[in-house]
Structure formats: C-alpha cells, structure tokens
Amino acid sequence: MTEAVQSTTSTVRAFTDESRHLSFDRDEWAELRAATPLTLREPELDRLRGINERIDMDEVAAIYLPLSRLLNLYVIATQNLHKVSATFLGAKAPKVPYIIGIAGSVAVGKSTFARILQALLAQWPDHPQVDLITTDGFLHPNHVLEHRGLMHRKGFPESYDTRRLLNVLNEIKSGHAHVEAPVYSHVVYDIVDDERVVIEQPDIVILEGLNVLQTGESSTEFVSDYFDFSIYIDADESDIENWYVQRFLTLRESVFQNPDSFFSNYAELTDDEAIDTARNIWRSINGINLRENIAPTRDRASAILRKRKDHRIDRVQLRRL
C-alpha cells in the first residue's frame, strides 16, 4: 500500500483539507497506472462494450488500469488483514470475498464499466475469480409491482426486494460456499423464475445497480454496509438523457424487434415518435429517479468517475481514507 500512497501524493495537484475526495484530472489519474500491463485485447473489449458506448483501448489504459491497480492493492491488503485476524484468534483464515459496488443512473454506462473492470481484475494473480451480479435480479416480479401499483416506479428504491438482496450479500460476506441470486431478463422485462446466478466463494464480487448506495429512512442495515469499495459513475443529466434516447433508438432496431420483448410495441415507431417516447420516459421516470434517489448518493462512493459528453472519463475523485 506504500506504493499507492506515494504515487497519490506525488500526483495530486490540489485539494483542500475540507474536501472528502482527492481529485485527479484524466492525465494525473492515468499516471497512476505505473507499470500495470494492458491485459485486455480489442476483440474482448468489443464483446464487453454496451450499446452506443465508444470505449476504446486508450480509455481502458488511462482510466481502468489505474483503478484495477488500486483495487488490487486494496484486495491484497484486505486479504492480509483477514489472515492477521485469524492468526490472532487462532483460527483458519476464512475466504471472504471483497465486494465492490457500482452505482449511477440508467444509461450512464454502469454495466459496461462493471464488465470491463471484472475482466481486468480477474487478470491479477491474487484474485482470479471475479463474479458480477446486478440489482436488476432483485427487482420485485412484475406481478408484484402491478399488484402494488409500482410498474411505473420500476427502478425506484421501493421496486426492489432489498431484504433478499441483503440476505444474499450477508451469505456472500459470511463465506457461504454456494449462494444463489435471481436473474432478470431485459427482453421480457421481468425476473426469470427458473434461472439463478451461482456465487461460489469468489475472490471479488462486483454488484452493479442504480441504488446500491441508497440509505433507507428506517432501515438499520444498508446494501452499502457490505461494500469494501464503491464507485459512482457521474455525468451531466442532459448528457445521460441523450444517451438514453440513443440507446432507446438502438433497442428499437434490435431487442424491441423480438416478439417476446416487453417493449415490442415500440418496434414500429417512427424516429420522431421513438425520440418523443424516450424523452417522455426519461422525464417521467428515469430523470426523477436520478435526481431524487441516485445522484444524492454520489458523495458516499469511494470513487466518483465523471464522464464527458463523448463517454470518456475526464475526472476521478477518490475518497480520502
């Protein structure tokens, strides 16, 4: 960890004592890659990219590699801490997965970010098994949301089975050998009853979702209680809305063409109709959720990554220890 501290101290240009985060511009952050090798190749990056996201190898080298290096150091330090604790207690060190939470708006690029980070972290020798789960699987099934009058609130905090998510995280963090999580289909827009994601004592678990940094008003236990590190993907709302519209247009030409798609009725919309529909959905649902529930959790993250209009990250804020 000394290496990381020394590099950080030499690279940061300015921050105030009152700031909760160290702030890096793109070039400053890229320097912290040090000698970390680029293990990802273009064909794999093509597979990991999300819809309408133009992430290139330069972005991986400048942003993702320094982050994977930092997280590698953190994971090793945490593993050593568990060993020290076990030695003190005279017990065998348990295998406790390191949990990383990734938060941010719809269409901001969380899923792509999580997949690329997963691929890079899995290349480090000290933690080769990295699992990825999403909070989509913990949405209440559509029939429950319909019964509660919440279909138009899908993605809002009340639409999730938070208790089930907390139980899964508790089992993972307790070192259970076999943990199952539900699966969500973006085609049918619902939970898939007969499918499960299986987590079998990985080294790292990445949990990606809209509201993973949320704190309830009455709950005494939060999803973020189980995180060792958390990341918030940030951008101007106007940019995110435009990304959402572009994604909607792309889905209209692909997934929505599937007759099994929940949104197949949008497949025949004209360009103007599709744009109007997407903007109405944004302004009545996703934009409200971002402003009221998601963005207010930003400063709780261990790291905040700020995107420009072209999806490239130009600023990284790292929460001070």
Q: What is the pLDDT of residues 57-102, one digit of tens each?
A: 999 999 999 999 999 999 999 989 988 988 999 988 778 999 999 9
In whole angstroms, what is the distance from residue 60 CA to residue 116 CA? 8
Q: SS3 of 201, please?
A: coil
Handedness of CA 11, 121, 176, 104 (dihedral sign): positive
Residue 102 sits at φ, ψ, to 5 deg, of -125, 120
Is-contact 102 231, C-beta < 8 A?
Answer: yes
Whole-model pTM: value is: 0.91
CATH number belonging to domain 2-248+297-319 = 3.40.50.300
Q: How far is CA 277 from CA 39, 185, 274, 281, in A?
A: 41, 22, 5, 6
Q: Distance between CA 44 and CA 252 in Å, rounded?
A: 25
List pLDDT tens digits, range 122-157: 999 888 899 999 999 999 999 999 999 999 999 999
Q: Which of 236, 229, 194 is nearest to 213 (CA)?
A: 229
